[in-house]
């Protein structure tokens, strides 16, 4: 069956090409010598010309007063659905009809719910809202559900409840006695799927090949029973991602006040935490379209007047993990992206010999507003 499909040529739908048309061998996997050229061929596919018309119709459907549309630019690679079964061992989620990049609405809702509870919720979630210190009572409204074992002991705060809804909880009666809303309810904001903006990538080709190298495959295969060593053979795994610079259109529906709040918080969550897989390595970060500094990377100087999205959060002497990335300036220099989205480089010493997408443990030698200078050895403490 697959041989018959291949005779028809590679389809323009990335989902079909990635899953159904994959040139697998008898073991159900793509041969190593074929994988690189096949992924490069998929990355060269352009989006269907008819997609722009469908996108415009979808965009025009949001006409209610509480509907909010906003475009964000992908500041790093995006990998959604990496746990899906595929011949490359790394899956990808695309639009079912058009095969374009997509961020499912439930993923955005889950990201924001966790972000709001962790960042805006109270430092100590144990006390009841009325028992919180005066400065913490407002933050209790952003608190999520409190679990006791496998049971829901306490419902969320009022802001969390309004945005995402709430389940029944064991202590609902205690909250009702104090005049606080409790019990099951639905959220007032709808998180729609975020869709790729047509022509927002060069040649309308939003996908790019990437690689993840597992250095201790035998250790992971043994479920941690053995010890990792320097004698394992690295196992590079190539797969598809969405390339940086792609723009996505996000859509929210609900009451005007709550959808505006959800947009502001969601933009913060996408910028600071990212969405999808490998976010700890800097994947899935989005910024406002005009925030070119984050899109270009810290290795380039932004144009005059363009805002600086964030500042490096690491300090000299910090031990961090950085990922080898393509040089944002296009000069072919060895660059590494840190977990806060900034690009660093090595000065006065040779950079580690790792491939694109591979991670390495380094130290921060110096910090500037544009990024980091990295080193393979702990920097000496400066004398006053």
Tens digits of per-residue pLDDT, 237-266? 788 899 998 999 999 999 888 999 999 999
Distance (Å, whole) CA 319 – CA 317: 6
Cα–Cα distances in angstroms (integers) from residue 156 to residues 116, 180, 208, 329, in the given order: 11, 11, 40, 46
Q: Tokens 């904001």, residue?
A: 189
Which of the four pLDDT bands, split at 50, 70 and 90, describes residue 6? low
The mean of the pLDDT values for the chain is 82
Q: Which residues contact 361 (CB under 8 A, 6 or more apart)?
A: 319, 320, 321
Every domain of the chain and the residues it spans: 2-104+193-289, 109-190, 297-375
Pairs from 36-44 (Cβ < 8 Å, separation ≥ 24) = 36/209, 36/238, 39/88, 39/209, 39/238, 39/239, 39/240, 40/209, 41/10, 42/10, 42/14, 42/17, 42/18, 42/207, 42/209, 42/240, 43/205, 43/207, 43/208, 43/209, 43/240, 44/205
Q: What residues pair up with 198 in beta bridges, in sequence order?
A: none
Domain covering 297-375, topology: OB fold (Dihydrolipoamide Acetyltransferase, E2P) (2.40.50)
Lowest mean pLDDT segment, chosen from 2-16, 108-122, 200-214, 254-268: 2-16
Give whichever of 10-14, 16-20, 138-142, 217-221 has the largest mean pLDDT: 138-142
Which of the four pLDDT bands, split at 50, 70 and 90, describes residue 383? very low
Global pTM value: 0.71
Lowest mean pLDDT segment, chosen from 22-26, 58-62, 103-107, 284-288: 22-26
Question: What does the pLDDT read at residue 3?
Answer: 59
């Amino acid at each position: 069956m697959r041989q018959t499909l291949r005779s028809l040529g590679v389809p323009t739908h990335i989902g079909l090409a990635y899953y159904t048309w994959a040139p697998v061998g008898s073991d159900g996997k793509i041969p190593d010598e074929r994988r690189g050229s096949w992924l490069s061929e998929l990355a060269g596919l352009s989006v269907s010309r008819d997609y722009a018309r469908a996108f415009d119709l979808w965009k025009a459907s949001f006409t209610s007063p509480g509907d909010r549309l906003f475009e964000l630019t992908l500041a790093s690679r995006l990998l959604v659905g990496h746990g899906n079964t595929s011949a490359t061992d790394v899956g990808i989620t695309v639009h079912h009809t058009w095969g374009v990049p997509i961020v499912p609405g439930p993923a955005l809702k889950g990201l924001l719910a966790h972000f709001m509870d962790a960042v805006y919720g109270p430092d100590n979630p144990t006390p009841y809202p009325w028992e919180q210190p005066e400065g913490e009572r407002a933050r209790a409204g952003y608190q999520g559900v409190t679990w006791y074992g496998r049971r829901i002991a306490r419902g969320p705060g009022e802001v969390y409840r309004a945005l995402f809804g709430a389940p029944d909880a064991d202590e609902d009666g205690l909250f009702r006695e104090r005049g606080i809303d409790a019990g099951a309810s639905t959220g007032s904001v709808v998180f729609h799927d975020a869709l790729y903006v047509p022509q927002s990538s060069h040649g309308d080709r939003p996908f790019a090949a990437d690689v993840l190298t597992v250095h201790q495959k035998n250790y992971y295969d043994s479920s941690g029973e053995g010890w990792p060593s320097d004698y394992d053979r690295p196992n590079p795994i190539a797969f598809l991602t969405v390339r940086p610079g792609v723009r996505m259109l996000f859509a929210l529906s609900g009451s005007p006040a709550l959808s505006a709040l959800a947009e502001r918080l969601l933009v913060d969550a996408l910028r600071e935490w990212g969405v999808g897989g490998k976010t700890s390595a800097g994947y899935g970060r989005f910024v406002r379209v005009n925030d070119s500094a984050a899109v270009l990377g810290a290795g380039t100087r932004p144009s005059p007047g363009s805002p600086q999205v964030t500042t490096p959060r690491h300090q000299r002497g910090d031990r961090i993990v950085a990922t080898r990335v393509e040089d944002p300036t296009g000069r072919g220099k060895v660059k590494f992206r840190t977990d806060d989205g900034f690009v660093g480089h090595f000065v006065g010493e040779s950079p580690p010999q790792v491939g694109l997408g591979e991670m390495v443990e380094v130290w921060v030698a110096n910090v500037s507003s544009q990024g980091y200078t990295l080193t393979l050895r702990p920097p000496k403490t400066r004398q006053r």
